[in-house]
Amino acid sequence: MGKRAKSKPLRFIDLFAGIGGFHLALHSNSTQGIHPTECVFVSEWDSHARATYERNFKKHSPAIFQRDPVTGEQTNFAGDITKIPPASIPDFDILCGGFPCQPFSQAGLKKGMDEARGTLFFDIAQILKEKSPEAFFLENVRGLLNHHSGDKKTIDIIENTLRVLGYSFDVFLVRASDYGVPQHRPRLFMIGFKEIENREKFISSLPRPKKLKLTMSEVMGGKVDRKIGFTLRVGGRNSGVADRRNWDTYLVDGKEVVLQKEQGLAMQGFPKNFRFPDSISETQAMKQL
């Protein structure tokens, strides 16, 4: 980015990290020889997601998971971000964060900024204010675009907050199925840069839509009547193909088959070597996906 030396890693932090989608994306820049990256801080409060995250990233990012010799705590693999003073976070170049989407989604009550989870965006803003990194990549549900907080659109509040901190602000509504993954899954990405030249370089290099890398027939191991699958959700599992709420059951070679975690991983675009710990149940794995 900008005048950064090609050999110097881009340091990033992963907030509301889930099981590490952002980490995988940034790490791929290193593995593909695009630019070296280094994750220096992670925050995820859910214990099951934390177990999955550590299982898959400890090998290539061991420093994150080191424990303090005195307290025994993993200071750079934090839980509740609201309990972390922004100044204590290691310096970094890019902030990544999929802050909680329930307040803005169809599944939630749409209380947005009026609900506690909705205000977690402001924890991100405080970190940006304190650490002033080069860029941020935020992700949420598409419902955020039209959600209102009082008499103002929530997205406008977010944009104004970030622009005051000195960042550009661009919004992209992206469907996973437009980039090779057999799942529609529309998501909203909010991206900003301190330097306008970095923003222009990013905009000019945006990837174009791609053909499907695999179909649902390949995912399920048999003939399925649709190439692109349902968006993975929480709740309503095992509803059956005749139920209008169905999202996890497919007719495979004429028989009803319920999607399993390995198939869910493929639909989400995770690499084949990504694994859930043995302690994670099928229900927990599907919730994480």
Q: Map tokens 């940006």 to a residue.
A: 128
Chain centroid to CA 169: 18
User: String of b and e for 165-197 (b: at least 16 CB within 10 Å)?
Assistant: eebbbeeeebbbbeeebbbebebbebbbbbbee
- Gap between the Cα atoms of 116 and 63, Å rounded: 32
Amino acid type, 207: P
Determine the Cα–Cα distance for residues 247 and 230; give it in Å rounded to an integer: 5
Task: Say whether 244 sits in a helix, a strand or coil.
Answer: coil
101 in catalytic set: yes
Give how far Cα 49 sits from Cα of 70, 76, 117, 124, 136, Å.
26, 16, 18, 20, 23
Take residue 286 and report the two structure tokens written for it.
């599907």
Among 101, 113, 128, 191, the one annotated catalytic: 101
Sorted by sequence, the CB contacts under 8 Å of residue 222 that are 6+ apart come out as 252, 253, 257
Q: Which residues are catalytic?
A: 101
